[in-house]
Amino acid sequence: MHFDFDAKVAGPVLHGPALEAPEFDAPELTPLTKPLAEASVGLIVTSGAYYPEQMRLGERNDLSYRLLSRHRELTDILFAHKTPIRQFGLADPNVAYPRDTMVDLEQAGVFAHYAENAVSMVGSISRYEELATETAPRIVDEFAGMDVDLVLVVPFCPQCHNAAGVLARALERRGLPTTSLTTLYRHAMAVKPPRATFLDFPLGCPCGRPGRPEQQREIVRAALETVAAQGVDEPWQLHRLPFQWDEDGSRDWEQLVVDLYRVDDQIRGTVRGNLGAHGENLSSINGNEKEFAIRCAC
């Protein structure tokens, strides 16, 4: 079971078509050369996290990124991504930009080092070829300068799952091992980001429930340990993490997500416009995924 964004939000709330996703073949993996406990781990978030003195990220098709220092507390963090589910991150930034979680896991010895900077983008991107051929190499260089061995990619909104998946595949093909922590099942199954795990939680909460730091640490730790054990020759699969939003297994949270999309007319209009624009750009990939993957090395 998983949340059906198309049936519950895209049609009845946004009055638009289903969000398309390119159907890629399984990715080629770059070997993780160290045990997780000895590895340096980097982080990419697509929630548009940034600090007040940094230039705000654009709402759509912004291929730039911001570097977020591991030493900077979350008290001043802002989110540029105009999506209704940003409310979860506003309540607790760690669900969308898990800075505290990563520092805690480093201190617990789950991995050796959390990178000096995280990479933050607004994942509402459908300029996929530029993302893979221009942005991805720059990000590889950023993490190479930090001696990163593995990058955790955290997609945020529905469109982020497409863009973050393409980006993760492009990083992997350029020699940087990645893993993605996803909350949108159908799109992850289509794009097939390397070493992916699936968390059956609300969109906007890829790293756990707001206000539950212990659960957040358990989720991110489980995601990293699950994929670190995966060999490069194993068939691609979407690893499902065994966590529940409510202890009794209730799925009342699905209506909460629907209500967030329904309540704000201005942001809902922005989302609807983004979906339309991204759908037009996807038409150049759909049906040509193999050619695109070869051309863009993803």
Number of domains in the chain: 1
Buried b (16+ CB within 10 A) or exposed e, 180-213: bbbbbbbbbbbbbbbbbbbbbbbbbbbbbbbebb
Q: What is the pLDDT of residue 269?
A: 58
Average pLDDT over residues 197-215: 96
For residue 140, the tally of other CB atoms under 10 A from its CB is: 19
Task: Give the pLDDT confidence score for residue 280 in this predicted structure.
Answer: 54
Residues 255, 260, 257: CA angle, nearest 5 degrees: 35
Task: Please give the residue range of the domain that contains residue 40.
Answer: 5-296
Number of Cβ within a 10 Å radius of residue 167 = 30
| pLDDT tens profile 231-270 | 888 899 999 999 999 989 899 999 999 998 887 655 555 6
* Per-residue model confidence (pLDDT) at position 270: 60
- Say if residue 202's pLDDT is above 70: yes
How many CA atoms does the CB half-sphere of 8 hold within 13 Å?
17
Residue in 206, 44, 42, 41 with CA at minimum distance from that of residue 119: 44
182 within 8 A of 197, measured Cβ to Cβ: yes
Question: Is it the case that residue 278 has pLDDT exceeding 60?
Answer: no
pLDDT at 284: 64
